[in-house]
Structure 1
Amino acid sequence: MRHRFQAEQWLPFPIEDVFRFFSKPDNLPKLMPRWQHARIEKMQLVPPPLPDPDKDAALAGAGSRILLSFRPFPLCPVRLRWDAQIAEFAWNQHFSDLQIKGPFAYWLHRHSVQSSASNGPTGPGILGTLLHDEVTYEIPLGALGAVANTLFVRHQLRRMFAYRQARTLELLSAGKHSR
């Protein structure tokens, strides 16, 4: 059975900066909790059509493959491997990564961005970017997977995206990422 998870975050940065940040595979381990010791094991980048080729040489366009490894829980001696491919890419609009091999029976994560003004007490304010994440996933084990989703996985996804959102704001604010 496939499940769906969604998260949204408003960021006070231009759409180009937010999209570029998420299009750089090197930023992915920075968005994962430190205890996971996430690292990119291998990348095969297919550059997207670039507005500034010299500035954006390390972006992952459609067809790119990224092999990531991480620890599934603190102090775990085993590392899980996650092989993903960028299935679609539309500059400053959206891209999707599809799990080729990994812990889920199916995983498709679509990252979408759109320009959006913040809403303050006096109405629209700062122009920024609304980031929308939509994940469609399936847990192995059939009916047992549905139980695991209810008891554990959905909660873990909420925690993971809350952490990811905090780190995204922190990294973009500090400029400690490759732009």
Structure 2
Amino acid sequence: MRHTFSSEQWVPFPVELVFAFFANPANLPHLLPAWQRARVESSRLIAPPTRPVATDPALRFQSPAAGVGSEIVLSFRLMRGLFLRSRWLARITEFIWMSHFCDEQLSGPFAYWHHRHGITREVRESIDGTLVTDDVEYEPPMGPLGEFAHNSYIRPQLATLFAHRRKRLEEILPIAAAQSVRRR
């Protein structure tokens, strides 16, 4: 049975910075809890369409980005205290600069996984910022057993992971912004 999960967060940083951060697969482990010991095992990046050129030179980021067809292998611990690692192979299926990108699981811990990362400019209280939205459609593994575990473990775990990601994003984006200024 397919389920959905959604999350959103507004951050006071320009969409160019936030999109560049999320589009670079190397940044994914930094958003996951330390106990998962997540790491990108390999990636095959396919260039996205040409990056729009921001009128402000300070917003012209040169970081790698995973375009449509890119594949990323991530490994991580599924449960705290469990030393066995799970591997997740994901493919980017959609990519539109300063709007969104989607990834789908090709193999991994879920029976099905489709994640739309929305990253759009939004001004709040005269601050030029970015609205980050996540819309996930997923199916637990192991059929009826996975469905049984869905409400008691899987959905709460997703909520915890995305709450952690929101907290980490607030910590990481100021550092990413400062580093991008120093590189200029």
TM-score, normalized by length of structure 2?
Answer: 0.88
Alignment of 1:109-120 (within 5 A): 109-118=115-124
| Greater mean alpha carbon deviation, residues 143-152 or residues 162-171 | 143-152
Equivalent AA in structure 2 for residue 74 of structure 1: R
Conservation of the 8 A alpha-carbon contact between 1:9 and 1:130: yes
Conservation of the 8 A alpha-carbon contact between 2:20 and 2:61: no
Conservation of the 8 A alpha-carbon contact between 2:52 and 2:97: no
Residue 63 (str. 1) matches residue 64 (str. 2): no
Q: Which residue of 1 aligns with 2:90?
A: 84
SS of residue in 2 equivalent to 1:28: helix
Equivalent AA in structure 2 for residue 104 of structure 1: F
Gaps of 5+ in 1: 119-123
Equivalent AA in structure 2 for residue 134 of structure 1: D
Q: Which residue of 2 aligns with 1:164?
A: 165
Pick from 107, 111, 118 the counterpart of residue 113 of structure 2. Answer: 107
Conservation of the 8 A alpha-carbon contact between 1:27 and 1:178: no
Q: How many residues align?
A: 174
| Greater mean alpha carbon deviation, residues 158-167 or residues 66-75 | 66-75
Q: Which residue of 2 aligns with 1:121?
A: none
Q: Which residue of 1 aligns with 2:42?
A: 42
How far off its partner does 1:154 sit?
A: 0.9
Q: 1:99 to 1:7 in 2, by over 3 A?
A: same
Structure with more of its chain in helix, by fraction: 2
Residue 142 (str. 1) matches residue 143 (str. 2): yes
SS of residue in 2 equivalent to 1:169: helix
Stretches of 4+ aligned residues off by more than 4 angstroms: 52-55, 176-179
Cα distance per residue 1:12-71 (max 9 Å; x no partner): 011111111000001000011111111111100001123279953521011000001011
How far off its partner does 1:95 sit?
A: 0.2
Equivalent AA in structure 2 for residue 159 of structure 1: T
How far off its partner does 1:171 sit?
A: 0.5
Residue 96 (str. 1) matches residue 102 (str. 2): yes
Gaps of 5+ in 2: 54-59
SS of residue in 1 equivalent to 2:126: strand
| Greater mean alpha carbon deviation, residues 164-173 or residues 135-144 | 135-144
Equivalent AA in structure 2 for residue 90 of structure 1: I
Percent pairwise identity: 47
SS of residue in 2 equivalent to 1:175: helix
